[in-house]
Protein backbone atom coordinates (compact mmCIF):
# COMPACT_ATOMS: atom_id res chain seq x y z
CA UNK A 1 0.00 0.00 0.00
CA UNK A 2 0.92 3.66 -0.14
CA UNK A 3 2.70 5.51 2.64
CA UNK A 4 1.42 8.75 4.17
CA UNK A 5 3.97 11.02 5.83
CA UNK A 6 2.85 13.03 8.86
CA UNK A 7 4.85 16.00 10.14
CA UNK A 8 4.31 16.26 13.89
CA UNK A 9 4.01 13.57 16.55
CA UNK A 10 1.11 14.75 18.74
CA UNK A 11 -2.35 13.33 19.31
CA UNK A 12 -3.67 14.76 16.04
CA UNK A 13 -1.02 12.80 14.13
CA UNK A 14 -1.89 9.72 16.14
CA UNK A 15 -5.59 9.97 15.28
CA UNK A 16 -4.78 10.68 11.61
CA UNK A 17 -2.59 7.57 11.51
CA UNK A 18 -5.36 5.44 13.02
CA UNK A 19 -7.79 6.69 10.37
CA UNK A 20 -5.21 6.05 7.63
CA UNK A 21 -4.67 2.50 8.86
CA UNK A 22 -8.40 1.82 8.55
CA UNK A 23 -8.12 2.72 4.87
CA UNK A 24 -5.12 0.43 4.38
CA UNK A 25 -2.36 3.04 4.38
CA UNK A 26 0.90 2.90 6.29
CA UNK A 27 2.07 6.03 8.05
CA UNK A 28 5.53 7.45 8.59
CA UNK A 29 5.73 10.18 11.22
CA UNK A 30 8.44 12.85 11.34
CA UNK A 31 8.91 14.79 14.58
CA UNK A 32 11.69 16.15 16.74
CA UNK A 33 12.83 13.78 19.50
CA UNK A 34 10.45 13.91 22.46
CA UNK A 35 6.91 12.89 23.27
CA UNK A 36 5.97 11.34 19.93
CA UNK A 37 2.62 9.67 20.61
CA UNK A 38 1.93 9.31 16.90
CA UNK A 39 4.98 7.07 16.43
CA UNK A 40 3.34 4.35 18.54
CA UNK A 41 0.68 3.80 15.89
CA UNK A 42 2.80 4.42 12.77
CA UNK A 43 4.79 1.85 10.81
CA UNK A 44 7.81 4.16 10.66
CA UNK A 45 9.07 7.11 12.66
CA UNK A 46 11.87 9.57 11.97
CA UNK A 47 12.96 11.59 14.99
CA UNK A 48 14.97 14.55 13.73
CA UNK A 49 14.99 18.34 13.95
CA UNK A 50 12.54 20.29 11.76
CA UNK A 51 15.41 21.86 9.84
CA UNK A 52 17.40 18.65 9.26
CA UNK A 53 17.18 18.86 5.47
CA UNK A 54 18.81 15.50 4.78
CA UNK A 55 16.45 13.68 7.14
CA UNK A 56 13.45 15.53 5.68
CA UNK A 57 14.49 14.63 2.13
CA UNK A 58 14.78 10.92 3.05
CA UNK A 59 11.40 11.07 4.82
CA UNK A 60 9.72 12.74 1.87
CA UNK A 61 11.22 10.26 -0.60
CA UNK A 62 9.84 7.38 1.49
CA UNK A 63 6.27 8.80 1.40
CA UNK A 64 3.70 9.08 -1.38
CA UNK A 65 2.15 12.19 0.18
CA UNK A 66 3.12 14.32 3.18
CA UNK A 67 0.73 16.16 5.50
CA UNK A 68 1.10 18.01 8.81
CA UNK A 69 -0.72 17.90 12.13
CA UNK A 70 1.10 20.93 13.55
CA UNK A 71 1.38 24.38 11.96
CA UNK A 72 4.66 25.46 13.53
CA UNK A 73 6.88 23.46 11.17
CA UNK A 74 9.51 25.77 9.60
CA UNK A 75 8.55 26.30 5.97
CA UNK A 76 12.01 26.84 4.46
CA UNK A 77 13.19 23.22 4.63
CA UNK A 78 9.78 22.06 3.34
CA UNK A 79 10.25 24.24 0.26
CA UNK A 80 12.73 21.60 -0.91
CA UNK A 81 9.97 18.95 -1.19
CA UNK A 82 8.17 18.57 -4.52
CA UNK A 83 5.22 21.01 -4.27
CA UNK A 84 2.52 18.46 -5.11
CA UNK A 85 3.87 16.15 -2.38
CA UNK A 86 2.64 18.33 0.49
CA UNK A 87 -1.08 18.60 1.34
CA UNK A 88 -2.29 21.06 2.46
CA UNK A 89 0.32 23.13 0.63
CA UNK A 90 3.05 25.43 1.80
CA UNK A 91 1.03 28.67 1.40
CA UNK A 92 -1.54 27.53 3.97
CA UNK A 93 1.21 26.60 6.42
CA UNK A 94 3.06 29.86 5.92
CA UNK A 95 -0.02 32.00 6.57
CA UNK A 96 -1.44 29.98 9.45
CA UNK A 97 1.80 30.01 11.43
CA UNK A 98 1.85 33.80 11.64
CA UNK A 99 -1.13 35.50 13.34
CA UNK A 100 -0.42 38.81 11.64
CA UNK A 101 -0.26 37.40 8.11
CA UNK A 102 -3.33 35.31 8.86
CA UNK A 103 -5.40 38.32 9.94
CA UNK A 104 -4.20 40.41 6.96
CA UNK A 105 -5.07 37.54 4.62
CA UNK A 106 -8.54 36.99 6.06
CA UNK A 107 -9.30 40.70 6.10
CA UNK A 108 -8.29 40.84 2.44
CA UNK A 109 -10.95 38.22 1.73
CA UNK A 110 -13.65 40.31 3.41
CA UNK A 111 -13.44 38.59 6.81
CA UNK A 112 -13.73 40.50 10.08
CA UNK A 113 -11.05 39.85 12.71
CA UNK A 114 -10.95 41.70 16.04
CA UNK A 115 -9.22 45.09 15.61
CA UNK A 116 -5.46 44.35 15.54
CA UNK A 117 -2.05 46.00 15.21
CA UNK A 118 1.45 44.57 14.77
CA UNK A 119 3.72 45.20 17.78
CA UNK A 120 7.51 44.86 17.83
CA UNK A 121 8.40 47.35 20.56
CA UNK A 122 6.98 49.75 23.15
CA UNK A 123 6.36 52.50 20.55
CA UNK A 124 4.26 50.14 18.45
CA UNK A 125 2.29 49.11 21.52
CA UNK A 126 1.61 52.79 22.26
CA UNK A 127 0.22 53.20 18.74
CA UNK A 128 -1.84 50.02 19.09
CA UNK A 129 -3.29 51.10 22.45
CA UNK A 130 -4.14 54.50 21.03
CA UNK A 131 -5.98 52.91 18.10
CA UNK A 132 -7.63 49.99 19.89
CA UNK A 133 -7.51 50.79 23.61
CA UNK A 134 -7.86 48.51 26.63
CA UNK A 135 -8.82 45.79 27.32
CA UNK A 136 -7.01 43.68 24.76
CA UNK A 137 -4.73 40.72 24.28
CA UNK A 138 -1.09 40.78 23.21
CA UNK A 139 -0.22 37.57 21.36
CA UNK A 140 3.02 36.27 19.92
CA UNK A 141 2.72 36.14 16.13
CA UNK A 142 4.21 32.65 16.07
CA UNK A 143 4.24 29.41 18.06
CA UNK A 144 1.35 30.06 20.49
CA UNK A 145 -1.23 27.36 21.23
CA UNK A 146 -3.68 26.56 24.06
CA UNK A 147 -3.52 30.21 25.13
CA UNK A 148 0.28 30.15 25.59
CA UNK A 149 2.15 33.24 24.40
CA UNK A 150 -0.75 35.57 25.28
CA UNK A 151 -1.06 38.41 27.78
CA UNK A 152 -4.40 39.95 28.71
CA UNK A 153 -4.07 43.69 29.17
CA UNK A 154 -6.76 45.34 31.31
CA UNK A 155 -4.95 48.24 32.95
CA UNK A 156 -1.99 50.58 32.26
CA UNK A 157 -0.16 48.63 35.00
CA UNK A 158 -0.49 45.45 32.91
CA UNK A 159 1.05 47.34 29.99
CA UNK A 160 3.92 48.70 32.09
CA UNK A 161 4.79 45.20 33.33
CA UNK A 162 5.36 43.82 29.80
CA UNK A 163 8.76 42.84 28.44
CA UNK A 164 8.58 43.27 24.66
CA UNK A 165 12.26 42.63 23.96
CA UNK A 166 11.57 39.48 21.93
CA UNK A 167 9.44 41.43 19.39
CA UNK A 168 7.02 39.79 16.96
CA UNK A 169 3.61 40.36 18.57
CA UNK A 170 0.14 41.36 17.52
CA UNK A 171 -2.19 43.31 19.81
CA UNK A 172 -5.90 42.75 19.42
CA UNK A 173 -8.95 44.22 21.08
CA UNK A 174 -10.92 42.01 23.45
CA UNK A 175 -14.07 40.77 21.72
CA UNK A 176 -17.15 40.65 23.93
CA UNK A 177 -18.59 37.53 22.42
CA UNK A 178 -21.54 35.48 23.62
CA UNK A 179 -20.18 32.17 22.31
CA UNK A 180 -17.37 30.60 20.27
CA UNK A 181 -17.61 28.18 17.37
CA UNK A 182 -15.47 26.81 14.60
CA UNK A 183 -16.08 25.99 10.96
CA UNK A 184 -14.39 22.74 10.00
CA UNK A 185 -14.39 21.88 6.31
CA UNK A 186 -12.67 19.38 4.09
CA UNK A 187 -11.68 20.19 0.51
CA UNK A 188 -10.77 17.46 -1.95
CA UNK A 189 -8.19 17.56 -4.75
CA UNK A 190 -11.08 18.20 -7.17
CA UNK A 191 -12.24 21.25 -5.17
CA UNK A 192 -15.26 19.53 -3.60
CA UNK A 193 -16.03 20.97 -0.13
CA UNK A 194 -17.96 19.52 2.79
CA UNK A 195 -18.61 20.96 6.26
CA UNK A 196 -19.24 19.37 9.62
CA UNK A 197 -21.83 20.93 11.91
CA UNK A 198 -20.37 23.77 13.97
CA UNK A 199 -20.22 23.01 17.69
CA UNK A 200 -20.44 25.50 20.53
CA UNK A 201 -16.89 25.58 21.92
CA UNK A 202 -16.23 26.57 25.52
CA UNK A 203 -12.67 27.46 26.54
CA UNK A 204 -11.31 27.54 30.07
CA UNK A 205 -8.05 29.35 30.68
CA UNK A 206 -7.44 29.64 26.91
CA UNK A 207 -7.81 25.86 26.39
CA UNK A 208 -10.78 24.17 24.76
CA UNK A 209 -12.88 22.46 27.45
CA UNK A 210 -16.03 21.26 25.63
CA UNK A 211 -17.62 21.17 22.18
CA UNK A 212 -21.39 20.63 22.01
CA UNK A 213 -24.26 20.24 19.56
CA UNK A 214 -26.83 21.62 19.09
CA UNK A 215 -24.82 24.82 19.18
CA UNK A 216 -27.83 27.04 19.86
CA UNK A 217 -29.62 29.71 17.80
CA UNK A 218 -26.95 32.41 18.06
CA UNK A 219 -24.24 30.24 16.49
CA UNK A 220 -26.63 28.55 14.07
CA UNK A 221 -27.56 32.01 12.79
CA UNK A 222 -23.91 32.89 12.05
CA UNK A 223 -22.60 29.65 10.58
CA UNK A 224 -23.56 30.41 6.96
CA UNK A 225 -21.56 33.64 6.90
CA UNK A 226 -18.60 32.01 8.62
CA UNK A 227 -18.65 29.12 6.14
CA UNK A 228 -18.57 31.56 3.24
CA UNK A 229 -15.35 33.04 4.57
CA UNK A 230 -13.80 29.63 5.31
CA UNK A 231 -14.51 28.49 1.74
CA UNK A 232 -12.87 31.64 0.38
CA UNK A 233 -9.80 30.91 2.50
CA UNK A 234 -9.68 27.34 1.19
CA UNK A 235 -10.16 28.33 -2.46
CA UNK A 236 -7.58 31.08 -2.31
CA UNK A 237 -5.00 28.65 -0.92
CA UNK A 238 -5.96 25.84 -3.32
CA UNK A 239 -6.40 23.92 -0.11
CA UNK A 240 -6.50 20.13 0.12
CA UNK A 241 -7.50 18.50 3.42
CA UNK A 242 -9.26 19.61 6.60
CA UNK A 243 -9.25 23.32 7.42
CA UNK A 244 -10.51 24.90 10.64
CA UNK A 245 -11.50 28.52 11.22
CA UNK A 246 -12.37 29.68 14.76
CA UNK A 247 -14.97 32.41 15.29
CA UNK A 248 -16.50 34.50 18.05
CA UNK A 249 -20.27 34.88 17.78
CA UNK A 250 -20.67 38.59 18.48
CA UNK A 251 -23.64 40.91 18.42
CA UNK A 252 -22.85 41.95 14.80
CA UNK A 253 -22.07 38.56 13.32
CA UNK A 254 -19.07 36.26 13.25
CA UNK A 255 -15.65 37.66 14.21
CA UNK A 256 -12.72 35.63 12.83
CA UNK A 257 -10.30 34.51 15.56
CA UNK A 258 -7.75 32.21 13.95
CA UNK A 259 -7.35 29.34 11.57
CA UNK A 260 -5.65 25.96 11.79
CA UNK A 261 -4.52 24.23 8.56
CA UNK A 262 -5.35 20.82 9.99
CA UNK A 263 -7.76 18.65 11.90
CA UNK A 264 -8.82 20.37 15.10
CA UNK A 265 -9.65 19.63 18.72
CA UNK A 266 -13.16 21.05 18.23
CA UNK A 267 -13.72 18.32 15.60
CA UNK A 268 -12.82 15.35 17.80
CA UNK A 269 -16.52 14.61 18.29
CA UNK A 270 -16.71 13.62 14.60
CA UNK A 271 -14.97 10.29 15.34
CA UNK A 272 -18.21 8.96 16.79
CA UNK A 273 -20.67 11.76 16.01
CA UNK A 274 -20.37 12.13 12.24
CA UNK A 275 -20.78 9.63 9.43
CA UNK A 276 -17.16 10.37 8.38
CA UNK A 277 -14.68 11.79 10.90
CA UNK A 278 -12.41 14.77 10.28
CA UNK A 279 -9.47 12.34 10.40
CA UNK A 280 -10.88 9.95 7.79
CA UNK A 281 -11.85 12.79 5.46
CA UNK A 282 -8.44 14.43 5.77
CA UNK A 283 -6.83 11.15 4.68
CA UNK A 284 -9.37 10.78 1.85
CA UNK A 285 -8.71 14.33 0.65
CA UNK A 286 -4.91 14.20 0.63
CA UNK A 287 -4.98 10.78 -1.07
CA UNK A 288 -7.33 12.03 -3.82
CA UNK A 289 -10.18 9.75 -2.75
CA UNK A 290 -13.89 10.67 -2.77
CA UNK A 291 -14.91 12.54 0.42
CA UNK A 292 -17.20 10.89 2.95
CA UNK A 293 -20.52 12.19 4.24
CA UNK A 294 -20.01 14.70 7.07
CA UNK A 295 -23.55 14.53 8.48
CA UNK A 296 -24.03 14.33 12.26
CA UNK A 297 -25.24 10.89 13.28
CA UNK A 298 -27.33 11.82 16.33
CA UNK A 299 -27.95 14.73 18.70
CA UNK A 300 -26.98 15.83 21.22
CA UNK A 301 -23.18 15.66 20.96
CA UNK A 302 -20.67 16.50 23.66
CA UNK A 303 -16.89 16.26 23.58
CA UNK A 304 -14.97 17.01 26.75
CA UNK A 305 -11.19 17.36 26.91
CA UNK A 306 -9.24 15.52 29.58
CA UNK A 307 -6.34 17.60 30.88
CA UNK A 308 -3.53 16.59 33.21
CA UNK A 309 -4.82 14.59 36.16
CA UNK A 310 -8.29 14.16 34.59
CA UNK A 311 -6.93 10.86 33.27
CA UNK A 312 -5.55 9.62 36.61
CA UNK A 313 -8.42 7.08 36.90
CA UNK A 314 -9.07 5.58 33.44
CA UNK A 315 -11.29 2.84 34.84
CA UNK A 316 -13.53 5.46 36.44
CA UNK A 317 -13.73 7.26 33.09
CA UNK A 318 -15.04 4.05 31.50
CA UNK A 319 -17.90 3.75 34.03
CA UNK A 320 -20.28 5.55 31.65
CA UNK A 321 -20.70 2.87 29.01
CA UNK A 322 -22.41 5.27 26.61
CA UNK A 323 -19.35 7.52 26.42
CA UNK A 324 -16.29 6.88 24.28
CA UNK A 325 -12.88 7.42 25.84
CA UNK A 326 -9.78 8.43 23.87
CA UNK A 327 -6.40 8.44 25.62
CA UNK A 328 -3.37 9.79 23.77
CA UNK A 329 -0.74 7.69 25.54
CA UNK A 330 1.25 10.66 26.83
CA UNK A 331 3.53 9.61 29.65
CA UNK A 332 3.56 12.83 31.57
CA UNK A 333 0.51 14.84 32.70
CA UNK A 334 2.51 18.03 33.41
CA UNK A 335 0.97 21.53 33.11
CA UNK A 336 -2.57 20.32 32.55
CA UNK A 337 -1.74 19.33 28.96
CA UNK A 338 -4.26 17.54 26.73
CA UNK A 339 -4.18 13.85 27.69
CA UNK A 340 -7.37 12.57 26.10
CA UNK A 341 -11.05 13.29 25.51
CA UNK A 342 -14.48 11.72 25.94
CA UNK A 343 -17.41 11.95 23.58
CA UNK A 344 -21.04 11.16 24.17
CA UNK A 345 -23.41 11.05 21.21
CA UNK A 346 -27.22 10.93 21.22
P1 LIG B 1 -5.52 27.18 20.04
O2 LIG B 1 -5.14 26.14 21.05
O3 LIG B 1 -6.98 27.20 19.68
O4 LIG B 1 -4.61 27.25 18.84
P5 LIG B 1 -4.34 29.76 20.72
O6 LIG B 1 -3.30 29.66 21.78
O7 LIG B 1 -3.90 29.91 19.32
O8 LIG B 1 -5.36 28.55 20.86
P9 LIG B 1 -6.44 31.77 20.56
O10 LIG B 1 -7.39 30.95 19.80
O11 LIG B 1 -5.90 33.01 19.92
O12 LIG B 1 -5.22 30.95 21.18
O13 LIG B 1 -7.10 32.21 21.95
C14 LIG B 1 -7.51 31.23 22.90
C15 LIG B 1 -8.85 31.67 23.48
O16 LIG B 1 -8.70 32.94 24.15
C17 LIG B 1 -9.94 31.90 22.45
O18 LIG B 1 -10.56 30.71 22.05
C19 LIG B 1 -10.86 32.86 23.24
O20 LIG B 1 -11.60 32.14 24.19
C21 LIG B 1 -9.85 33.74 23.93
N22 LIG B 1 -9.51 34.90 23.07
C23 LIG B 1 -8.48 34.98 22.20
N24 LIG B 1 -8.47 36.16 21.55
C25 LIG B 1 -9.52 36.86 22.03
C26 LIG B 1 -10.05 38.18 21.78
N27 LIG B 1 -9.49 39.00 20.89
N28 LIG B 1 -11.14 38.55 22.48
C29 LIG B 1 -11.72 37.73 23.39
N30 LIG B 1 -11.27 36.49 23.66
C31 LIG B 1 -10.18 36.06 23.02
MG1 LIG C 1 -4.11 28.73 17.67
MG1 LIG D 1 -7.62 29.07 19.10
Q: Do 281 and 294 form a contact (C-beta atoms < 8 A)? A: yes
Instruction: Catalogue the long-range contacts made by 309-315 (C-beta closer than 8 Å, 24 or more residues apart).
Output: 309/333, 310/339, 310/340, 311/339, 311/340
Please give the pLDDT value at position 63: 97
Assigned architecture for domain 115-173: 2-Layer Sandwich (3.30)
Q: How confident is the model at residue 9 (pLDDT cuts 50, 70, 90)?
A: very high
Gap from CA of 327 to ligand 2 centroid (Å) = 22
Domains of the chain, by residue range, sit at: 3-86, 115-173, 179-345
Q: Do 278 and 242 form a contact (C-beta atoms < 8 A)? A: yes
Check pocket membership of 345 for ligand 1, CB cut-off 6 A. Answer: no
> Distance of alpha carbon 187 from its chain centroid, rounded?
16
Fold of 179-345: D-amino Acid Aminotransferase; Chain A, domain 1 (3.30.470)
Average pLDDT over residues 188-215: 97
Average pLDDT over residues 196-200: 98
Q: How confident is the model at residue 203 (pLDDT cuts 50, 70, 90)?
A: very high
Which candidate, 16, 71, 65, 67, places its Cα nearest to that of 39? 16
Q: How confident is the model at residue 176 (pLDDT cuts 50, 70, 90)?
A: very high
Q: How confident is the model at residue 144 (pLDDT cuts 50, 70, 90)?
A: confident
Please give the pLDDT value at position 145: 84
Among protein residues, the one with the nearest Cα to ligand 1's atom 9 is 147
User: 294-315 pLDDT, tens per residue?
Assistant: 999 999 999 999 999 999 999 9
Q: Which helix (H) or strand (E) holds 235?
A: helix 223-236
Gap from CA of 320 to ligand 2 centroid (Å) = 32
Q: Do 59 and 5 form a contact (C-beta atoms < 8 A)? A: yes
pLDDT higher than threshold 80 for residue 206: yes
Check pocket membership of 258 for ligand 1, CB cut-off 6 A. Answer: yes
Check pocket membership of 132 for ligand 1, CB cut-off 6 A. Answer: no
Mark the residues whose beta carbon lies below 5 A from ion ligand 2. 258
Check pocket membership of 197 for ligand 1, CB cut-off 6 A. Answer: no
Please give the pLDDT value at position 1: 65
Give the Cα separation of 258 and 102 in Å (integer): 7
Please state the pTM of the whole predicted model.
Answer: 0.97
Among protein residues, the one with the nearest Cα to ligand 1's atom 25 is 174
Average pLDDT over residues 327-336: 87
Burial state string for 148-187 with b = 16 or more CB within 10 A and e = fewer than 16: ebebebeeeeebeeeebeeebbbbbbbbebebbbbbbbbb
Binding site annotation covers 147?
Answer: yes
Atom of ligand 1 nearest to the CA of 114: 27
User: 249-283 pLDDT, tens per residue?
Assistant: 999 999 999 999 999 999 999 999 999 999 999 99
- Strands 3-7 and 26-31 turn out to be parallel
Atom of ligand 1 nearest to the CA of 172: 27
Gap from CA of 117 to ligand 1 centroid (Å) = 16
User: 73-101 pLDDT, tens per residue?
Assistant: 999 999 989 988 999 999 999 999 999 99
CATH of domain 3-86: 3.40.50.20
> Distance of alpha carbon 131 from its chain centroid, rounded?
30
Which candidate, 1, 156, 152, places its Cα nearest to that of 63? 1
pLDDT higher than threshold 90 for residue 332: no
3-state secondary structure of 153: strand
* Percentage of the chain modeled with pLDDT above 70: 100
3-state secondary structure of 49: coil
Lowest mean pLDDT among 74-83, 232-241, 286-295: 74-83
Mean pLDDT of the chain: 96
Q: How confident is the model at residue 334 (pLDDT cuts 50, 70, 90)?
A: confident
Amino acid sequence: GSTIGILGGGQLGRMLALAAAQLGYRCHVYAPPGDNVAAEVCAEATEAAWDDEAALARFSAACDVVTYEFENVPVDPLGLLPADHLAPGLAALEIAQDRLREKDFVEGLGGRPAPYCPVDDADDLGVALHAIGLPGILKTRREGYDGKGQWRLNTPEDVAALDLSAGGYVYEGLVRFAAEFSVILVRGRDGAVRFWDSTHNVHEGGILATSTLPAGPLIEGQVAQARELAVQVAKQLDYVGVLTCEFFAGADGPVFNEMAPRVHNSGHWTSEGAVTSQFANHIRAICGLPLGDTATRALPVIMRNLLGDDVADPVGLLADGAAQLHLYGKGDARDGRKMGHVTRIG
